[in-house]
Chains A and B, each alone.
Chain A
Amino acid sequence: GAVVSQHPSRVICKSGTSVKIECRSLDFQATTMFWYRQFPKQSLMLMATSNEGSKATYEQGVEKDKFLINHASLTLSTLTVTSAHPEDSSFYICSAGAAGGTGELFFGEGSRLTVL
């Protein structure tokens, strides 16, 4: 199956700093990628839809200035958590779907962010 890779898998940062998480589709082109956030023992919450070459579409309640999403190419989307605070600590997961597919999404391994 298609492979989606996230980097880094774990990151620890100080409060007030910014952290960038990359999501790459390794063997297919993804015009659309999705960013999810998962709190411990909870389900995935969709944060935003990332579209190649255009602005991301954010879900209600998600701060677009805090969670910057860039989808500059068909194989790479990035999520930057700006001025991170401890409450931003979470597991962030990206997913991508291949164009022309059945709507199936392929998920990255996730990135665990810990803000001290």
Chain B
Amino acid sequence: AQSVTQLGSHVSVSEGALVLLRCNYSSSVPPYLFWYVQYPNQGLQLLLKYTTGATLVKGINGFEAEFKKSETSFHLTKPSAHMSDAAEYFCAVSKKTGTASKLTFGTGTRLQVTL
């Protein structure tokens, strides 16, 4: 079975500050890892994903995440927060390739950006 743990249901940062959203996973097979962002009353938008290859993954809107197998982590970072980054962020894991597979989501982290 796979699972995802997001530490911190709420994170608040000042505009311009570093954003760090934590995600740890559990998987019995090599995982595929994803970060999604959700704005109020909207669906989910993919920020970035790790499948194979380079462990540092760059996504949209200046976000990036690093897959660390030894730490079973996939933390999301952004060097400088912007007000528009305020949203709910979900880390997710799946285990199959080449076909659509079920995603297991973490509980989400709400990012607040203050002036």
A residues in contact (CB < 8 Å) with B:
1, 4, 6, 30-34, 41-44, 46, 49, 91, 93, 95-110, 112
Which chain B positions have C-beta within 8 A of A1? 46
Closest to A93 in B: B43
Contact B43 A103 (CB under 8 A): no
Closest to B103 in A: A105
Smallest Cβ distance from B8 to chain A, in angstroms?
Answer: 14
Smallest Cβ distance from A46 to chain B, in angstroms?
Answer: 6
Smallest Cβ distance from A95 to chain B, in angstroms?
Answer: 8
Closest to B104 in A: A46
Contact B90 A44 (CB under 8 A): yes
Question: How many chain B residues touch the partner (CB < 8 A)?
Answer: 27
Q: Determine which residue in A34, A49, A103 has the highest number of CB atoms from chain B within 10 A of its CB, and name it.
A: A103
Contact B98 A93 (CB under 8 A): no
Q: Please judge, given known A-B contacts A34-B102, A43-B105, A110-B41, whether A104 and B96 are in contact too, CB under 8 Å.
A: no
Contact B46 A103 (CB under 8 A): no
Is residue B54 within 8 Å, beta carbon to beta carbon, of the partner chain? no
Which chain B positions have C-beta within 8 A of A31? 99-100
Q: Determine which residue in A1, A30, A34, A102 has the highest number of CB atoms from chain B within 10 A of its CB, and name it.
A: A102
Contact A103 B99 (CB under 8 A): yes
Contact A103 B90 (CB under 8 A): no
Contact A43 B99 (CB under 8 A): no
Contact B97 A108 (CB under 8 A): no
Is residue B84 within 8 Å, beta carbon to beta carbon, of the partner chain? no
Closest to B9 in A: A41
Smallest Cβ distance from A17 to chain B, in angstroms?
Answer: 23
Contact A103 B32 (CB under 8 A): yes
Contact B32 A109 (CB under 8 A): no
Which chain A positions have C-beta within 8 A of B97? 102-103
Is residue B28 within 8 Å, beta carbon to beta carbon, of the partner chain? no
Q: Determine which residue in B32, B103, B108 has the highest number of CB atoms from chain A within 10 A of its CB, and name it.
A: B103
